[in-house]
Amino acid sequence: MKWFTAWRRRPWAGYAVVLVALATIGVVYAGFSPRTAQATDSSASADDLAHGKQLFNQNCASCHGPNAEGTRDAKGNAIAPSLIGVGAAAVNFQVSTGRMPAMNPGAEMPRKTPVPVFNPDTIQVQYPPNATEEQKKALRQAAVDKNLNDIQAYVESLGNGPSVPSADQVAPANDKVGLGGTLFRTNCAQCHNFAGQGGALTYGKYAPPLLQSTPTQIYEAMITGPEAMPVFNDTTITPEQKRAIIAYIVQTRSEANPGGNGLGRIGPVAEGLAGWLVGIGLLVLAAMWITAKKPKKLKKQHD
């Protein structure tokens, strides 16, 4: 725990502790309030299912078909795949990362800001009079949670698939980060790069950077295997190992670069570029300056 002692002495450590304490109080308070308790309830009522279907029809049916059976164009090529049996985790991953509803299907569905009904920052909610900013935010979050839960429940009701992991399941296993790193390098780095910066795949596809994914989304990506990414089920990578990987990703992206600027953490290409542009560039300027300086006293001499 050497790093912890060192960290504690940093000037901002005090503020950080206060912030964490405030946040914890907020979470506990929210946990006791009845509204969110309802939203996290996983057993869906008929009302919820109906609400889920309604959301689906409004946002998704245009591509995935009215019964989520998938759609095809005139030539018989799939426009959007069937969602029967993909499970709640896939829906949660796709919708919470903003990938779905898709905008213009291309080689790759990019991560983007979720549409308002699934976005805690932009969703429209009726606030009670005199609600504070804090309360408004909690209300918006609750509304989004409910929408997500309902649409997940609806897709789940069409056929079972992997369910959304609980907070415990995705908690980073910080004591196993070494193992997580090893697993990440053997299973993920070939697509996502050693530091999770992303990389190119074939046919115009790419593996995105993992800089914004929440632990839940990382877990879901592993169990659902979106697009070109393989599925890592519990036999290939155990749930415990998944938490180790999550710890590795989360720690790596917040880790400082001890050697200065990380140059995008993409490896030797950026280093070569910096060597030529900055290194040789500066030295050529220096050479021009030095050779342009004429000594005052010495006249030009002939050998």
Partner 1 sequence: MSTAELPKAVDGPLTFIDDRLGSTTFMKRNLKKVFPDHWSFMLGEIALYSFIILLLTGTFLTLWFKPSMTDVIYHGSYVKLDGVKMSEAYQSTLNITFDVRGGLLMRQIHHWAAILFMAAIMAHMLRVFFTGAYRKPRELNWLIGLGLFTLGLLEGLFGYSLPDDALSGAGLRITAGVIQSIPLVGSYIMFFLFGGEYPGQDIIPRFFTLHILLIPGIILALVTAHMMIMWHQKHTAMPSKDQAETHVVGYPFYPVFMAKTGAYFLFTFGVISLLATFAQINPIWMFGPYDPAAISAGSQPDFYMGFLEGSLRMMPNWETNLWGYTIPWNVLIPALVPLGLVMTGAGLFPFVERWVTGDQRYHHVNDRPRNAPTRTAIGMTGVVFYGVLWLAGGNDIIAYKFDVSLYATTWFFRVAIFAGPILAFIITKRICLGLQRSDAATMAHGYESGTIKMMPNGEFIEVHKEPEEEQKAVILSKEEPKPSLPARDENGIPAPATKGLLGHVRARLNRAWHIDNITVEEGHGHEAEGADRELSKGH
Question: 299: buried, middle or exposed (CB in 10 Å: 19+, 13-18, 0-12)?
Answer: exposed
Cβ closer to ligand HEC: 56 or 138?
Answer: 56
Question: Applying CB under 8 A, does 263 fall inside the site for partner 1?
Answer: yes
Instruction: Identify which range of 99-107, 133-141, 272-280, 282-290 contacts ligand HEC by CB under 6 A.
Output: 99-107
Distance CA 155, CA 287 (A): 68
State how far Cα 6 lies from the chain centre. 29
CB of 291 to ligand HEC, least distance (A): 52
- State which H helix or E strand residue 151 sits in: helix 133-158
33 φ, ψ (degrees, to nearest 5): -75, 135
The DSSP secondary structure of 35-74, one letter per residue, reads: HHHHHT--S--HHHHHHHHHHHHHHTHHHH-TTS--EE-T
* Residue 105 binding: pick among ligand HEC, partner 1, none (C-beta 5-8 Å cut-off by kind): ligand HEC
Which residues between 241 and 260 bind ligand HEC (CB under 6 A)? 245
| Residue 231 site contact among ligand HEC, partner 1, none (CB < 5 to 8 Å, cut-off depends on kind) | none
Interacting residue with partner 1 among 102, 179, 228, 237 (CB under 8 A) = 179
Binding pattern for the stretch 206-225 against ligand HEC, x by CB under 6 A and - elsewhere: -xx-x-xx---xx--xx-x-
Q: Identify what 272 binds: partner 1, ligand HEC, none; CB under 5 to 8 Å per kind.
A: partner 1
The answer to whether residues 99 and 212 touch, using CB atoms and an 8 Å cutoff, is no
Residue in 44, 83, 148, 158 binding ligand HEC, rule: CB under 6 A: 83
Is residue 111 involved in binding ligand HEC (CB under 6 A)?
Answer: yes
Asked if residue 56 lies in contact with residue 155, where contact means CB atoms within 8 angstroms, the answer is yes
267 φ/ψ sector (left φ>0, alpha ψ -120 to 50, else beta): left
The reply on whether position 275 binds partner 1 by CB under 8 A is yes
**DSSP state, residue 203:** T
Contact assessment for residue 152 and residue 92, using Cβ atoms and an 8 Å cutoff: yes
Cα three-residue angle 272-273-277, rounded to 5 degrees:
120
Q: Verify binding: residue 181, partner 1, rule CB under 8 A.
A: yes
Element (H, E) at 80: strand 78-80
140-169 residues in contact with ligand HEC (CB under 6 A) are: 151
Instruction: Note the Cα 142 to chain centre separation in Å.
Output: 20
List the single partner that 229 binds among partner 1, ligand HEC, none, CB under 5 to 8 Å by kind.
ligand HEC
Binding residues for partner 1 (CB under 8 A) = 2-3, 107, 177-179, 181-182, 185-186, 189-195, 197-204, 206-207, 248, 251-252, 255, 257-263, 265-269, 271-276, 278-280, 282-284, 286-288, 290-293, 295, 298, 300-303
Binding residues for ligand HEC (CB under 6 A) = 59-60, 62-64, 80-81, 83, 86, 90-91, 94-95, 97, 99-102, 105, 108-109, 111, 151, 187-188, 190-192, 201, 205, 207-208, 210, 212-213, 217-218, 221-222, 224, 226-230, 232, 245
